[in-house]
Amino acid sequence: MIKRLFVVLAALLLTLATASPAMAYEPVNVVHTERVQVGPYGLTVGFSTWPLRAMQSLDFTFAPDGGLDGKSGTYFRTGPSGSHTFPVPLARHPRKRDVWGLDVFALQTQGNWKLTFAIDGSQGHGEGTLANLQVLEQPGPPLTLSWIVCSLPFLGLVAFLVIAWRRSRNLVQVA
């Protein structure tokens, strides 16, 4: 009987290994835009969700007027506390290759954010900032509650190790 069960298991494995998963990548659906003047370049910043909420991910698109041809740039984020990231190159959005962007990306904290852009192109170098980007409170239950629920497996593991440790105390000393 046991061998039959393992045959079933092997068959299941083979089915899984040869299955071709359904591929369906969501298109980027911009529901809100903001305009930023980056030196001589006009830039449209698009959001796939609006308003923004802390920890909730969305697609950002950065579309310079006239397309990406001959342009390159960097951007950095400034959080509500005033600390900011290092400038990173603007990269094309993986699901919308005609514009720059960030795919399923979340701003982690509530408050006022800034996105600062630098673009180089045929009209030279330009810099500009999208200021006052309001990020509302995070959705869902309090983060502490989520962490407590998701720490249960780890706490279970610790409890198991403590029990095993205590039960084996005398035996290990004998050994």
Partner 1 sequence: MRPIGAGFVLLGTGISLVGTSWDVQWHIDVGPDTFFTLPHLFIYAGSAIAGIAALVVVLAVTAAQRRGETPDPRDGGVPIRVFGGAFTAPLGYLVTGLGAAAFLLYGLTDLWWHTVYGFDAVLNSPPHVALFTNISITMIGAVIIAAAARDQLWGRIAMAISVPALMTFFPITANAFQGLNLPFDTIVAATVLIVVLLLVVTRVAIGRPGAALATAAALLAMQGILWVFTPWATSAYADSVGLPMRDGMGGEPSLIPSGIPLAALLAAVAIELLLRRGPLLSGAIAGLVLGFTFVLQRSWLGYGPHATPLLLLTTTIAGALFGWLGAYLGSRFGAMVRVGEKVTA
The binding site for partner 1 (CB under 8 A) comprises 2-3, 5-6, 9, 12-13, 16-17, 19, 21-26, 49, 55-58, 89, 91-92, 94-95, 97, 103-106, 139-140, 143, 146-147, 149-154, 156-157, 160-161, 164-165, 168, 171-172, 174-175
Q: How far is the CB of 117 from partner 1 (least distance, A)?
A: 16
Q: How far is the CB of 111 from partner 1 (least distance, A)?
A: 17
* Number of neighbouring beta carbons within 10 Å of residue 101: 24
CA distance 38 to 113: 17
- Closest to partner 1 by CB, 73 vs 128, is 73
- Closest to partner 1 by CB, 2 vs 69, is 2
CA distance 43 to 41: 6
Q: How far is the CB of 153 from partner 1 (least distance, A)?
A: 4
CA distance 75 to 37: 14
- Closest to partner 1 by CB, 131 vs 146, is 146
CA distance 120 to 73: 6
Of residues 134, 47, 136, the one with CA closest to residue 96? 47
Q: How far is the CB of 44 from partner 1 (least distance, A)?
A: 19
CA distance 115 to 85: 10
**Max intra-chain CA distance, the chain:** 81
- Closest to partner 1 by CB, 104 vs 131, is 104
Q: How far is the CB of 124 from partner 1 (least distance, A)?
A: 22
Say which amino acid occupies 147: W
- Closest to partner 1 by CB, 131 vs 163, is 163
Quick one: how far is CA 51 from the chain centroid?
17
